[in-house]
């Protein structure tokens, strides 16, 4: 059995063991403890996360997390119908908004993806039903080390191809896998992390909307 390198799970000053990546920042720790890896079936939250993962490309997630409330305000709470109605004037306005990442391509992609999300909702009944249909068929064993966490999986590659075929932007397989990790389609908390056990219990009680 592979031993876990020191530092993959970190004991916080509150006595709680967590994955290494959230150590040292209170906002990051709360996100890790209460959100990351917990299953989500709400279309707005799923759409928001796909968009924010796209904004993260080339950046760190903590940068996006610190700006998340500003993003929510800028994009109408990530309500797909409201975002889909945004115009070039809105794009130009958001390019002056210092509270978000001012990247024209990513802003325009968010509006485009909202329109594609509405198409998908019309087809599948909900965004959640379609996205959760790409959940891995069987859960793998708990991750023992950070080296065991893959950058992509066959499922994230398949979902990325599916979304891009439908016209979505900034949804490469690495971005999509980060989305799957965060929204609970997989549980990539390191073995020994307290939040990982909580995420497992949440998943056991969760019924995917595609079933």
Active-site residues: which are they? 31, 53, 61
CA dihedral in degrees (177, 182, 186, 189; nearest 10)?
Answer: 110
What span, in angstroms and rounded, lies between the C-alpha atoms of 68 and 65? Answer: 5
Q: Using N-to-C axis directions, what is the helix angle for 173-182 and 43-56, rounded to 10°?
A: 130
Cα distances (Å, whole numbers) of residue 128 to 48, 91, 100, 204: 12, 27, 26, 18
Element (DSSP H or E) covering residue 178: helix 173-182
Helices (H), 4-100: 26-34, 43-56, 61-66, 68-74, 80-84, 88-94
């Amino acid at each position: 059995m592979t031993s876990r390198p020191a530092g993959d799970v970190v004991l916080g000053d509150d006595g709680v063991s967590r994955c290494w990546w959230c150590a040292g920042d209170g906002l990051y720790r709360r996100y890790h403890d209460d959100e990351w890896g917990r299953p989500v079936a709400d279309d707005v939250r799923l759409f928001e996360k796909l968009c924010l993962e796209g904004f993260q490309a080339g950046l760190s997630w903590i940068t996006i997390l610190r700006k998340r409330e500003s993003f929510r305000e800028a994009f109408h709470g990530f309500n797909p119908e409201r975002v889909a109605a945004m115009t070039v004037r809105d794009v130009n306005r958001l390019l002056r908004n210092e509270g978000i990442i001012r990247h024209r391509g990513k802003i325009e992609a968010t509006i485009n993806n909202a329109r594609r999300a509405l198409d998908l909702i019309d087809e599948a009944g909900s965004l959640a039903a379609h996205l959760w249909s790409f959940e891995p068929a069987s859960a793998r064993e708990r991750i023992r080390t950070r080296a065991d966490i893959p950058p992509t999986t066959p499922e994230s590659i398949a979902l990325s191809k599916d979304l891009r075929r439908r016209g979505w932007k900034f949804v490469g397989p690495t971005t999509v896998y980060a989305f799957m990790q965060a929204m609970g389609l997989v549980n990539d908390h390191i073995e020994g992390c307290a939040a990982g056990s909580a995420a497992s219990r949440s998943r056991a009680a969760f019924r995917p909307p595609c079933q």
